[in-house]
């Protein structure tokens, strides 16, 4: 999978939480400007490419939905729950909501996710400066 760094984080978190194995290619601006990858993309600019056998997806929400189906995450939702993910929130958006802060803490404590969130791989990504989950 190949992603613009800011779009990839949600997908990385899903995969890490579920213990899924994946190969990630980070595309530098120099690689993008070289043109080979740019010419192969359906949309411009590059935000994400996911390949799974003969399936190639280019849109972040389509990739999220694909993983939700493939990892059987949708069957765990209560009936009527939204299946499309919300956009990435502002880092301070939960400050006025203690119950949501508590939920986030429980979510971040999930074993696979906790390991990933403590890793240098997560901490050294230059996508969200400042406050982390």
DSSP string, 18-75: TT-----EEPPHHHHHHSHHHHH-SSSS--EEEEETTEEE-SHHHHHHHHHHHTT-GG
Nearest Cα neighbor of 122 from 9, 1, 3, 7 is 9
Q: How far apart are CA 107 and CA 37, in angstroms?
A: 36
CATH topology (fold) of 2-89: Glutaredoxin (3.40.30)
SS3 state of residue 6: helix
* 11 pLDDT above the threshold of 60: yes
* 4 pLDDT above the threshold of 70: no
Q: What is the tens place of the pLDDT at every residue in 66-83?
A: 888 888 877 777 777 666
User: Considering only 101-105, 114-118, 128-132, which range has the smallest mean pLDDT?
Assistant: 128-132
- Bigger pLDDT: 128 or 122? 122
């Amino acid at each position: 999978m190949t992603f613009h760094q800011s779009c990839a984080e949600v997908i990385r978190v899903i995969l890490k939480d579920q213990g899924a194995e994946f190969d990630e290619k980070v595309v530098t601006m120099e690689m993008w400007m070289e043109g080979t990858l740019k010419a192969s993309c359906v949309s411009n600019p590059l935000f994400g490419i996911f390949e799974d056998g003969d399936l190639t997806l280019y849109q972040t929400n389509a990739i999220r939905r694909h993983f939700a189906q493939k990892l059987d995450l949708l069957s765990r939702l209560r009936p009527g729950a939204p299946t499309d993910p919300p956009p990435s929130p502002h880092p301070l958006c939960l400050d006025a909501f203690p119950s949501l802060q508590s939920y986030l803490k429980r979510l971040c404590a999930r074993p696979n996710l906790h390991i990933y969130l403590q890793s240098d791989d997560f901490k050294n990504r230059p996508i969200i400066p400042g406050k982390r989950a």
